[in-house]
Structure 1
Amino acid sequence: MDAIVQADLLEELKGKLQITWTDEDNDFKKMILKSEAYLSNLTGASFDFVRELEPKEILLERCRYVYNNTADQFEVNYRHELGRLILNVALGKVGVIDGTTSGDV
């Protein structure tokens, strides 16, 4: 993930959490990277979080759960969204698998 995308995600996450201070920015950046890795491991794909809004929203929600120490409930509460994301990756609608971009099949 490039620095510009990470900075945009950081600001969006902080807005979602209603956080205005910068003390935890490094922790949030790590949280974003770990959530990106989580989605990548789950789907076998990488995502463009600027263009693809569905994976972006799921990433931000996972960060919110992690921040609130409820990560163990994320998969339970988001199973439908995660299932839809996995299906959309498999159909080539979102994500990049092995160099194949969304829509290229």
Structure 2
Amino acid sequence: MPEDLLNDVKNYLHITWQDEATDKNITGIIKRGMTRLQTIAGVSIDFTQEDLARSLLFDYCRYANSHALEMFEKNFSAELLSLHINSQVNTESEATQ
């Protein structure tokens, strides 16, 4: 997991306090979100880039932290489909070059 990602997600979630238990919880959420989004995309993703994947990861973390994760894929279905299609197109064009 990229070093600054925890702080960036905590900032996005408006978590301003330092607490080992909170950091452990958010780190777990981030790792699960990264795994889920990479599974949907079908490729490895660089979450340090300011793009759709990073935005989706932050929203995944927001939903998970709010105990509403079951709504994430429904509410972001168009964005998740776009992530998948764009990832596959980029992979295919890299393979043909």
Regarding TM over 0.5, the answer is yes
Give the percent of matched residue pairs that are identical in Structure 1 and Structure 2.
Answer: 32
Matched residue pairs, number?
93
- 1:31 maps to 29
Q: How far is 1:63 from its partner?
A: 0.6
Compare relative contact order (CA 8 Å, sep 6+) and give the higher one, 1 or 2. Answer: 2
Q: Does 1:104 align with 2:87?
A: no
- 1:20 maps to 16
Amino acid aligned to 1:104: E
CA offsets 1:53-93 (integer angstroms, 9 cap, x no match): 2111101110110000000000111001001000101101x
Q: Distance in 2 between matches of 1:49 and 1:87?
A: 17
Q: How far is 1:52 from its partner?
A: 5.3
Q: 72, 79, 82: which is aligned to 1:74? A: 72
Structure 1: unaligned runs, 5 residues or longer: 93-99
**Segments of 4+ in structure 1 off by > 2 A?**
none
More helix by share: 2
With the length of structure 2 as denominator, give the TM-score of the two structures.
0.86
RMSD over aligned CA atoms reads 1.7
